């Protein structure tokens, strides 16, 4: 039963990793009796193992809570959870667009973190009412007064009534619910206007098809309506609408303006229900879609191969299953001379890549080899044509290239001021162009750089973290393509090009990188029966060279009395070990050698 | 067909820091009782005929020669048997092992655990006797009429270099030894060396490989021939018993930790002296004598894998892909292919696990 619009509150929770977002959400569920106590497991909202382990929320979730406030009225609170990483910045912005307010959770022992700040500004940009909450006041090192002052100074939010809570013990959490009711505005919207519903998430369910999570901005929707996606034009007959409860889905007659709920309509793929798209009705459609839509395009590509060629079909199945639920994941078959059959996969960013890789390995029990991530380069040929490549293998003959372009990003790095020097060093080595720096407070800065995407896609975040002891965070968006002096590096083992290790790099970085790669391979490929030259080349020109000396000693000198079996087993074990290596011509390369090159970063 | 007989004497006065062979400290009277036990065990095998006998250890030289003689007496010998006793030089002083008595019981070969002729190296290896004791042991054996003497050398030991190696090799030849076993030190788990391996200044793989090649060169310069990865002899003095292992022939091993290959089956006795003396139970160790096993062992020998012998034994030719594979290694001097024979060079022996592994298994 729909409540009146002024009793609805739609909100998100913004928090830094580990500041207690999930725990607070659990307490809210508990206090509103949305979950029976005996069903409480730690952190109900994060239901993927991976999320729990990484302490980040990967996909948005939403839940409806019924809350009887101190004024005696029953309120409908819709908590919309948001993903917490730059790769999912767009999804965060759509989730926030579905809300009128946000709870900002700050750890009383840590203070405001940069990542929180980015999302808080994003919330303020969406005109959300931000309700500060100071958490972890049960800890001995808690400094709630200092943190309250900091929130006031940095963000300018009034903290005089900010709840000071311990989500862990439940202390004062009920005050959070009261603040939501009192401070966050009720949604507006016209029930009789043409339907406009914002899709902030969609999930594939093998029984119902895609479940579309929406916030109704205007109008109404009910089962039997013919709905239409305004961006893709796809139309479907609505099977069911309803509300998300913590542990179930609750069908409803209709969803009205201001409400948050779900729609099922026998939709086969999440690609037909893109985050940010506007749902309207075929009869009486809205004139304009809701603003802010972006089609989600993969930005980072890499080859994903099964370590055991027999797992190719299993890998394909697993990718197909993951794609059902992940509109940003793309893949197509590709063949590598050395890795065999695999897939070229596209991701939003490196975290997205790592998550997919981990899910494939963990949930589908696959052993994978992934190649060096690449971005999309635009290659302008001398004949005037332009080709786009996301795979170094397709890099054309340099003689036919007029010039190349690569994607650039606007990157914000938020950090304590003491790390400015080391951050600027890092950005400088990554070909960054310094654009400016704002002091958010006297000891916190927002550094703005233009950085080439290919410099940040695989270890920038790790390097940033290690240089700033984890205090800095960053945020980027693609701004444009720029002309750049790019070259393709090839790695040769024993004279054969190892296609899986080729990559495209700025010519200024080529020599240094080439030397490191050669060293890494030399250190990580075990000595074999032959001397193996390791070369790194641009075109035909070798720019770095190492030699893996031939193995000298591998012998069981003493044949243990008559213990022949032991000897035989030893040789068999050795043979087994070899199976785990990749053969490149006559050279056997262990997986670790690959990883050592792929994970090459500034620090080693 | 006569078979080989191996008798394990699992007693040592102390544990050398590199050794992982099975041995215990002998308690009073145990050696005599152990000899009784072996004798009665041997009688159960009176249907076998033995043309080689090898007393290995442990330290067989701790057993009085009388016991050795008793055990030999209980064995059903055949023809002109080779009978070897491994001796620790520190047991071989005037009041020590009685070579005369042993010789008259039929012992005709002595293998002395010298390891090095350089006293500082011997000390690191935990060997009590000095080079003088070793020479004395050789002389005593020789004067008892035992001319067929083998000396053990160890390669790649802490502090060893090509100069000290040369001193050890020269010592072997000046002593009149007919056979040398030169083993590359392998640090085995469970030994003292394993526990302190980071503190030992061990030569690295390249240095050890160089020492091995140097050793082969020095020994062959002096007239012995290499016939197995670690074994060298003047012509006619190759160890007949050990060749049985490498020719994949039959042998019976008695004593705890001894291995046997009889009638196509491999088996062994557990490393447990008490258990063995109470109730020796053979533990099956699978089938033996396959072509792969035969080839793996044959390639340890300089004579290599010969098609005529394979054909005689298995009634088929060496598979062509083995020859194909072998050609790759011929190019970099690890293997020699000569008519119907594949054999490893000294350089090839050094990496024989990898070579044999990729040829056969």
B329–A575 C-beta distance less than 8 A: no
pLDDT of residue A558: 76
> Which residues, in sequence order, are CB contacts of A469 under 8 Å at separation 6+?
none
B residues 99..158 contacting A (CB < 8 A): 155
Give CA torsion, residues A593, A594, A595, A597, to 10 deg: 90
Query: Are B351 and A553 inside 8 Å of each other by CB?
Result: yes
Residue A56 has pLDDT above 60, yes or no: no
Considering only alpha carbons, which residue of chain A is nearest residue B187? Answer: A556
Average pLDDT, rounded, for chain A: 86
Question: CB B357 to CB A574 under 8 A?
Answer: yes
Inter-chain residue contact B229 with A555, CB threshold 8 Å: yes
Residue B205 at interface with chain A, using a CB cutoff of 8 Å: yes
Give residue A475's region: left, alpha or beta (phi > 0; psi -120 to 50).
Answer: beta
Q: What is the ipTM of this complex?
A: 0.88
- A559/B355 CB distance under 8 A: no
Interface contact B205-A552, CB threshold 8 A: yes
Q: 3-62 in B: which are within 8 Å (CB) of A?
A: 6, 8, 56
Kindly determine whether residue A572 and residue B246, on different chains, have CB atoms separated by under 8 Å.
no
Does the structure show a pLDDT above 60 at A55? no
Query: Which residues of chain A does B242 touch, with a Cβ-Cβ cutoff of 8 Å?
Result: 559
User: Residues of B with CB below 8 A from A559's CB?
Assistant: 229-230, 242, 245-246, 297, 300
Nearest CA in chain B to A586: B328
Using CB atoms, which residue from A555, A563, A586 is nearest to B352?
A555
Closest chain B residue to the Cα of A556, Cα to Cα: B353
In contact, A35 and A246? CB cutoff 8 Å: yes
- A199-226 pLDDT, tens digit per residue, is 998 888 888 889 999 999 999 999 999 9
- Reference A179, options A163, A168, A164, A165; nearest CA is A163
Q: What is the pLDDT of residue A604?
A: 41
pLDDT of residue A579: 63
Whether A328 contacts A347, CB under 8 Å: yes
Residue A450 predicted with pLDDT over 90:
yes
**Ranges of chain B whose pLDDT falls below 70:** 361
Q: Who among B248, B268, B353 is closest to A571 (CB)?
A: B353
Sort A94 into a burial class: Cβ within 10 Å, 0-12 / 13-18 / 19+: buried
A-chain CB neighbours of B258 within 8 Å are 561-562
Q: Do B357 and A571 touch (CB under 8 A)?
A: yes
- By Cβ distance, the residue of A555, A558, A572 closest to B350 is A555
Domain B300-360: which CATH number of 3.40.50.300, 1.10.8.80, 3.90.1150.10, 1.10.10.920: 1.10.10.920
Give B349→chain A minimum CA distance, Å. 7
Could you report the per-residue pLDDT of A492-526, keeping only the tens digit for each?
Answer: 999 988 888 888 999 998 999 899 999 999 998 98
| Binding-face residues of B in 298-327 toward A, CB within 8 A | 300
d(CA A391, CA A413): 29
Q: Which residues of B touch A578 (CB under 8 A)?
A: 357
Does the fold of domain B300-360 match that of domain B3-245? no
What are the tens digits of pLDDT across the range A102-113? 999 999 998 887
For residue B312, the model assigns a pLDDT of 96
The tens digit of pLDDT for each residue in A550-583 reads 989 988 877 656 788 888 887 887 777 666 666 7
pLDDT tens digits for A269-278?
888 888 899 9
* Interface check B283 vs A, CB under 8 A: no
Chain A residue with minimum CA distance to B349: A555
pLDDT of residue A326: 80
Among chain B residues, the shortest Cα distance to A554 is held by B351
Phi, psi of A304 (to 5 degrees): -120, 120
Provide CATH code, domain B3-245.
Answer: 3.20.20.70
Interface test with B, best of A532, A548, A562 (most B CBs within 10 A): A562
Q: How many contacts (CB atoms, under 8 Å) link A and B? A: 112
Gap between the Cα atoms of A489 and A506, Å rounded: 10
| Cis preceding-peptide flag for A411 (omega within 30 of 0) | no
Question: Chain A: residue nearest B181 by CA?
Answer: A558
B297: nearest CA partner in chain A: A564
> What is the reported pLDDT for A17?
67
Residue in B86, B89, B148, B93 with CA at minimum distance from that of residue B114: B89
Across A319-341, average pLDDT:
85
CA distance A527 to chain B (A): 11
Residue A519 CA to residue A513 CA, distance in Å, equals 10
Q: What share of chain B is helix, strand, coil (3-state, %, to 5)?
A: 40, 25, 35
Segments in A391-448 forming alpha helices (H): 420-429
**Burial of A561 by CB count in 10 Å (0-12 exposed, 13-18 middle, 19+ buried)?**
buried
Residue A61 has pLDDT above 60, yes or no: yes
- Quote the minimal CA–CA distance from A574 to chain B in Å: 8
CA-based nearest distance B353→chain A, Å: 5
Distance CA(A111)–CA(A185), nearest Å, equals 27
Helices (H) and strands (E) in chain B, counts: 15, 15
Candidate from B245, B266, B357 with C-beta closest to A575: B357
Q: Report pLDDT for A1.
A: 47
Residue of A nearest to B352 (CA): A555
Helix (H) or strand (E) holding A351: helix A350-363
Structure tokens, A586: 């006559």
Q: What are phi and psi of A462, to 5 degrees?
A: -65, -45
Q: Residues 6 or more apart from A217 whose CB is under 8 A from it?
A: A189, A196, A197, A198, A257, A290
Buried b / exposed e across B229-266, counting CB within 10 Å, b at 16+? bbbbbbeebbbbbbbbbbebbbbbbbbbbbbbbbeeeb
Please enumerate residues of A whose Cβ is less than 8 A from a Cβ of B: 528-530, 549-565, 567-568, 570-572, 574-575, 578, 586
A114: confidence class by pLDDT, cuts 50, 70, 90: low
Domain ranges in chain B are: 3-245, 300-360
Evaluate if residue A153 carries a pLDDT over 60: yes
Which pair of structure tokens corresponds to residue A603?
A: 């620090």
Q: Is-contact A405 A464, C-beta < 8 A?
A: no
Q: Do A554 and B351 touch (CB under 8 A)?
A: yes
- Choose the mutation target among A564, A566, A587 for the interface with B, i.e. most B CBs under 10 Å: A564
Mark which residues 154-193 of B lie under 8 Å from A by CB: 155, 183-184, 186
* Alpha carbon distance A251, A262 (integer Å): 9
Tell me the residue length of chain B. 361
Question: Is A562 within 8 Å of B259 when comparing Cβ atoms?
Answer: yes
Cβ of A557 within 8 Å of Cβ of B334? The answer is: no
Closest partner residue to B351 (CB to CB) among A555, A568, A575 is A555
Tell me what percent of the residues of chain A surpass a pLDDT of 70: 91
List, for residues A233-257, the tens digit of each pLDDT value.
999 999 999 998 877 789 999 999 9
Give pLDDT, residue A603.
47
Give the residue carrying structure tokens 């069903």: A39
SS3 B161: coil
Rounded to whole angstroms, the Cα distance separating A460 from A601 reads 8
Closest residue on chain B to A551 (Cα): B351
**Nearest residue in chain A measured CA to CA from B8:** A561
Structure tokens at B191: 């030994």
Alpha helices of chain B — where are they, by DSSP H? 30-43, 65-74, 99-104, 119-124, 131-143, 162-175, 192-195, 205-221, 240-246, 273-278, 291-298, 307-314, 320-331, 346-350, 352-359
Question: A566 CA to chain B: closest CA distance, Å?
Answer: 10
Q: How far apart are CA A526 and CA A528, in angstroms?
A: 6
């Amino acid at each position: 039963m729909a409540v009146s619009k002024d009793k609805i509150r739609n909100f998100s929770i913004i928090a830094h990793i580990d500041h207690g977002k999930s725990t607070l959400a659990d307490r809210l569920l508990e206090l509103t009796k949305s979950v029976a106590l005996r069903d409480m497991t730690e952190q109900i909202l994060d239901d993927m193992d991976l999320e729990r382990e990484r302490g980040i929320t990967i996909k948005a979730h939403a839940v409806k809570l019924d809350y009887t406030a101190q004024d005696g009225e029953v309120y409908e609170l819709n908590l919309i959870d948001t993903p917490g990483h730059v790769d999912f910045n767009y999804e965060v912005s759509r989730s926030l667009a579905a809300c009128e307010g946000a709870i900002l959770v700050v750890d009383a022992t840590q203070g405001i973190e940069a990542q929180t700040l980015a999302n808080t500004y994003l919330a303020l940009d969406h005109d959300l009412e931000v309700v500060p909450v100071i958490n972890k006041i049960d800890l001995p090192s808690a400094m709630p007064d200092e943190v309250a002052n900091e929130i006031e100074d940095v963000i300018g939010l009034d903290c005089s009534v900010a709840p000071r809570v311990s989500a862990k013990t439940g202390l004062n959490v009920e005050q959070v619910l009261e603040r939501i009711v009192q401070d966050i505005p009720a949604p507006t919207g016209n029930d009789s206007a043409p339907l406009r519903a914002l899709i902030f998430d969609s999930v594939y369910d093998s029984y119902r098809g895609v479940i579309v999570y929406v916030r109704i901005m205007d109008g109404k929707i009910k089962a039997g309506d013919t709905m239409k996606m305004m961006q893709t034009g796809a139309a479907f007959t609505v099977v069911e609408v309803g509300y998300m409860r913590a542990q179930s889905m609750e069908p409803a007659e209709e969803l009205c303006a201001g409400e948050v709920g779900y729609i099922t309509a026998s939709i086969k793929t999440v690609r037909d229900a893109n985050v940010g798209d506007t749902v309207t009705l075929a009869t009486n459609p809205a004139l304009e879609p809701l603003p802010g839509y972006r089609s989600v395009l993969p930005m980072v590509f890499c080859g994903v191969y099964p370590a055991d060629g027999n797992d190719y079909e299993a890998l394909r199945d697993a990718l197909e299953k993951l794609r059902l639920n992940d509109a940003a994941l793309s893949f197509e078959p590709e063949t590598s001379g050395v890795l065999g059959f695999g897939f070229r996969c596209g991701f939003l960013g490196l975290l997205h890549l790592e998550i997919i890789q981990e899910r494939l390995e963990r949930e589908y029990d696959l052993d994978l080899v992934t190649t060096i991530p690449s971005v999309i380069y635009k290659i302008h040929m001398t004949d005037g044509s332009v080709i786009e490549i996301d795979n170094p293998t397709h890099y054309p003959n340099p003689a036919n290239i007029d010039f190349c372009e690569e994607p650039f990003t606007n990157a914000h790095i938020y950090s304590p001021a003491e790390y400015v020097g080391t951050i600027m060093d890092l950005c400088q080595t990554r070909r960054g162009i310094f654009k400016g720096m704002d002091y958010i407070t006297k000891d916190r800065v927002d550094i703005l750089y233009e950085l080439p995407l290919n410099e940040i896609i695989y270890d920038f975040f790790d390097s940033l973290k290690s240089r700033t002891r984890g205090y800095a965070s960053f945020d980027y968006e693609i701004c444009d393509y720029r002309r750049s002096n790019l070259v393709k590096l090839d790695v040769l083992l024993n004279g054969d090009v190892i296609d899986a290790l080729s990559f495209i790099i700025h010519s200024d970085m080529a020599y240094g990188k080439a030397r490191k790669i050669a060293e890494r391979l030399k250190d990580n490929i075990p000595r074999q029966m032959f001397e193996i030259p390791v070369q790194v080349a641009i075109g035909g020109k070798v720019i770095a060279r190492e030699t893996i000396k031939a193995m000298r000693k591998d012998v069981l000198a003493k044949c243990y009395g008559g213990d022949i079996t032991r000897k035989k087993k030893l040789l068999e074990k050795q043979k087994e070990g070899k199976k785990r290596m990749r053969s490149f011509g006559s050279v056997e390369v262990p997986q670790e050698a690959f990883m050592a090159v792929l994970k090459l970063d500034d620090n080693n | 067909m006569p078979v080989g007989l191996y008798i394990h004497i699992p007693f040592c006065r102390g544990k050398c820091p590199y050794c992982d062979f099975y041995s215990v400290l002998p308690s009073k009277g145990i050696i005599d009782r152990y000899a009784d036990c072996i004798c009665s065990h041997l009688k159960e095998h009176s249907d076998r005929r033995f043309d080689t006998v090898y007393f290995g250890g442990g330290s067989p030289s701790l057993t009085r020669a009388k016991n050795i003689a008793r055990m030999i007496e209980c064995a059903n010998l055949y023809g002109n048997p080779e009978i070897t006793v491994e001796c620790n030089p520190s047991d071989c002083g005037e009041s020590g092992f009685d070579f005369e008595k042993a010789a008259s019981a039929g012992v005709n070969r002595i293998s002395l655990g010298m390891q090095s002729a350089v006293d500082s190296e011997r000390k690191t290896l935990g060997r009590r006797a000095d080079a003088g004791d070793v020479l004395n042991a050789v002389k005593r054996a020789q004067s008892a009429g035992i001319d067929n003497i083998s000396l053990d050398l160890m390669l790649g030991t802490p502090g060893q270099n090509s100069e000290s190696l040369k001193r050890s090799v020269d010592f072997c030849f000046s002593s009149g030894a007919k056979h040398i076993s030169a083993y590359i030190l392998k640090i085995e788990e469970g030994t003292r060396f394993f526990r302190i391996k980071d503190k030992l200044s061990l030569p690295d793989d390249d240095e050890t490989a160089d020492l091995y090649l140097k050793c082969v060169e020095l020994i062959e310069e002096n007239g012995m021939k290499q016939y197995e990865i670690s074994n060298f002899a003047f012509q006619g003095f190759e160890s007949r018993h050990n060749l049985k292992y490498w020719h994949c022939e039959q042998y019976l091993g008695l004593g705890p930790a001894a291995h046997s290959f009889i009638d196509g089956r491999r088996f062994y006795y557990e490393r447990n002296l008490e258990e063995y003396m109470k109730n020796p139970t053979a533990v099956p160790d699978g089938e033996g004598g396959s072509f792969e096993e035969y080839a793996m062992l044959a390639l340890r020998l300089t004579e290599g894998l010969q098609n005529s012998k394979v054909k005689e034994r298995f009634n088929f030719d060496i598979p062509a892909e083995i020859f194909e594979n072998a050609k790759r290694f011929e190019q970099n001097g690890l293997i020699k292919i000569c008519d119907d024979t594949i054999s490893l060079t000294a350089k090839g022996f050094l990496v024989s696990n990898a070579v044999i592994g990729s040829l056969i298994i």
